Amino acid sequence: MGSILVVMENGTGGFVDSSKELIAKAKDIAKALGMSSVAIGFGSEAEKNLKGLSVDRVIAVSNPELTQYHPEAYEKALAQVLQKDQPFLTLVANTTMGMDLGAGLAARASLPLIAYCSQLSVEGQEVLATSSVFAGKLMAEIVVPESGAVISVMPGQWPQDTDRGDPPIDRMSLDLPSSMKILQLIEPEKGDVDITKAEILVSVGRGIDNPDNLPLAEELAEAIGGVLSCSRPVVDAGWLPKSRQVGKSGQTVKPKVYMAFGISGAPEHQQGMKDADLIIAVNTDENASMMDIAHYGSTVDMLDLMPALTERLRGE
Ligand SMILES: Cc1cc2nc3c(=O)[nH]c(=O)nc-3n(C[C@H](O)[C@H](O)[C@H](O)COP(=O)(O)OP(=O)(O)OC[C@H]3O[C@@H](n4cnc5c(N)ncnc54)[C@H](O)[C@@H]3O)c2cc1C
């Protein structure tokens, strides 16, 4: 009997939510294909955290040094598991860790990697994966080959598994590779304003074009009672601090209103804001991916719209 393997990622106080989402999907797929669901966890709390999962089997690699992601060691352990168990699917969340690990693991095991996966379904005996390509402009539907695959799944696609179980535990010991040592984990700085607490975010992307245009966005944010945030290129250009960045390598936000000005809506950006209650996209390109998830969209030039909105809000 084949298996569906989920690689669990450690967060603060247990596994991250995106790993628990994968458990729910792995169980569904395993059931539909007559396979078993298996989860693997790393670090000093691995056994404790894995024990309650409602899967058929768990594998604990309990070296304390592996509580934090260690690319080489995780890959080494997983390559051994893949060689021994030959799971049909190996699921990782498309997080910073999952993207790194998924690619390395697929290369080591000579398996295809299906990245940025947003949907997985079973039709007959086939598994179909939907993957977003070209920064979310196209969705590719891929039939998973019989040899299996490593799949990195976008967080937030399915509800988390909340069932409790008591699966049998396999304990795996691992000699740590000596070529790499994790010295320090650096969290993104919270900085001046905590954008995760704001109810209204006025967010600007590369469409702002020039730092001299930033006051237009700042004034609008002030007039509407919101806070200014941005996409990554704005931070990379040094126009706003990292603490204002929304997305995969920035902050995850869930405001009541998210106004995206000149932001294309790449998967890495959407990952940080797609759960906002109301999304308003302003983009001269009507085909920008942000338009697909926006509740309201405008193709007006943001540099014209922002001052006009500010004026209206101020009642001028
Ligand atoms: C590992 C990794 C992590 C990443 N993490 C993040 C992250 O945390 N956050 C993030 O944002 N990105 C992140 N990225 C980058 C991401 O892939 C995109 O490159 C980025 O989000 C694009 O930013 P943007 O939408 O501002 O720029 P672009 O994609 O260049 O889009 C600019 C948009 O502005 C529109 N526009 C231009 N002029 C105007 C105008 N005058 N009026 C209205 N619209 C206009 C254009 O039509 C275009 O759609 C990450 C990438 C990787 C590989």
Atom of ligand 1 minimally distant from the CA of 265: 25
Domain extent for 228? 195-313
pLDDT beyond 80 at 134: no
User: Does residue 189 lie within any of the structural domains?
Assistant: no
Position 231, amino acid:
S
User: Does residue 122 lie within any of the structural domains?
Assistant: yes
The CA distance from 255 to 277, in Å, is 7
User: Does residue 111 lie within any of the structural domains?
Assistant: yes
Distance from the CA of 183 to the center of ligand 1, in angstroms? 31
Q: What are phi and psi of 185, to 5 degrees?
A: -105, 120
The answer to whether residues 196 and 223 touch, using CB atoms and an 8 Å cutoff, is no
Residue among 249, 291, 293 whose CB has most ligand 1 atoms within 8 A, to mutate: 249
Indicate whether 167 and 281 sit together in one domain.
no
Indicate whether 155 and 31 sit together in one domain.
yes
297: helix, coil or strand? strand
Atom of ligand 1 minimally distant from the CA of 250: 8
pLDDT beyond 60 at 245: yes
Pocket of ligand 1 (CB under 6 A): 135, 205-207, 231-233, 245-250, 262-264, 266, 268-269, 272, 282-285, 288, 301-303
CA angle, 141 as apex, 137 and 146 as ends, to 5°? 145
Indicate whether 21 and 159 sit together in one domain.
yes
User: Does residue 190 lie within any of the structural domains?
Assistant: no
Average pLDDT of the segment spanning 277-304: 97
pLDDT beyond 60 at 190: no
Q: Identify the CATH number of the domain in which residue 150 sits.
A: 3.40.50.620
Parallel, antiparallel, or unpaired: how do β-strands 126-133 and 138-143 relate? antiparallel
Q: What would the DSSP string read from start to end of 11-44?
A: ETTEE-HHHHHHHHHHHHHHHHHT-EEEEEEEST
Atom of ligand 1 minimally distant from the CA of 288: 49
Distance from the CA of 185 to the center of ligand 1, in angstroms? 26
pLDDT band at 136 (very low <50, low <70, confident <90, very high): low
pLDDT beyond 90 at 21: yes
Average pLDDT of the segment spanning 51-55: 96
Name the average pLDDT for the chain: 93
pTM: 0.69
Indicate whether 211 and 166 sit together in one domain.
no
Task: Convert 14-31 to b/e letters by CB count within 10 Å (16 or more is b).
Answer: ebbebbbbbbbbbbbbbe
Indicate whether 204 and 247 sit together in one domain.
yes
The CA distance from 254 to 278, in Å, is 9
User: Does residue 254 lie within any of the structural domains?
Assistant: yes
pLDDT beyond 60 at 54: yes
Q: Identify the CATH number of the domain in which residue 269 sits.
A: 3.40.50.1220
Indicate whether 146 and 227 sit together in one domain.
no
Runs of H (alpha helix) within the chain: 17-33, 46-51, 71-85, 96-109, 214-224, 232-236, 267-270, 289-293, 302-313
* Protein residue with its CA nearest to atom 37 in ligand 1: 207
pLDDT beyond 70 at 133: yes
Number of independent structural domains in the chain: 2
Distance from the CA of 192 to the center of ligand 1, in angstroms? 23
Of 107 and 197, more confident: 107
User: Does residue 106 lie within any of the structural domains?
Assistant: yes
